[in-house]
Amino acid sequence: MADKTIAIYCFFDDLFQAMNRKTDPHCKVNDAQIATTALLAALKFYGNHASACTYMHQHHQMKCLDKSGFNRRLHRLQPTLLLVFRSLGLSLKELNTSARYIIDSFPVAICRNCRIRVCKLLTGKAYHGYNEAKKEYFYGFKVQLITTVDGLPVDYYVTAGSYHDTTALQAMQVDLPAGSLLYGDSGYTDYEQEDLYAECEQIYLKIQRKKNSKRLDEPWQAYLKKVYRKPIERVISQIENLFPRKLHAVTAAGFLLKLFLFVLAFTIDANLPNTSYLAT
């Protein structure tokens, strides 16, 4: 764990120096330490920032910050962390010579169904969603995740829980290289979108077909689509395994920030040996 912590810190420290980002000299803790602590909390402490701060203080001599001060610093750092994720995604797209990608969604409940009436973070029926995999309703958000066929996240998009996958696909901007193949399950069936992306963006949506589809696949096409989209199920499972039983946050913005940190932490952890090129 110590080696991973040092590797993550070195990555952020080198990257922030390359970005010419300077920490206020009056701050006891630099931005690289804040980012490292936040990612360590997502990877090892189920998103608990206080536990991660304690670990960093005891094992890496990071000066103590109170909970409020750490959260303020982390929220100020959020735009930079989003930029890091986008830059990492662009680099992974350049390295993905197969030009094959996968899209899938997973729900993130903000509270149990019995507590919806007293939930203060969100209000409205737009957040009432249905989890088809578990055959149950939930209240919260739905994450659209795009990965390479090797299981490396390159982009993500968050919608309200009630949004159907086709609606989310229409709302998000799929930024993939021309000639890319994007595999998805039958929930993304939208013939107009498929034609539009193929004609305007040269991105070809390879969606699994339902039995009553107007564009049925040949058996070999159906088999390839099923095989190529399989890795994203493993990725989503690994990201969800990082979640605590209940993701604690005081505001909706704080909840979304923690959710993003889980995706970023998984991405950097999976690419840690190959991320040095981002700082060059």
DSSP state of 63: P
* pLDDT tens per residue across span 40-70: 999 999 999 999 998 898 888 888 888 888 9
Say what percent of the chain tops pLDDT 70: 97
C-beta separation of 132 from 84 below 8 A: no
pLDDT (mean) for 253-260 = 95
Kindly indicate the confidence band of residue 273, based on its pLDDT and cuts at 50, 70 and 90.
low
C-beta separation of 265 from 175 below 8 A: no
Q: What's the CA gap between 236 and 104, in Å, rounded?
A: 9
Paired tokens of 138 = 């939930």
Angle at 154 between CA 250 and CA 38, to 5 degrees: 35
* pLDDT tens per residue across span 11-44: 998 988 888 887 777 778 899 999 999 999 999 9
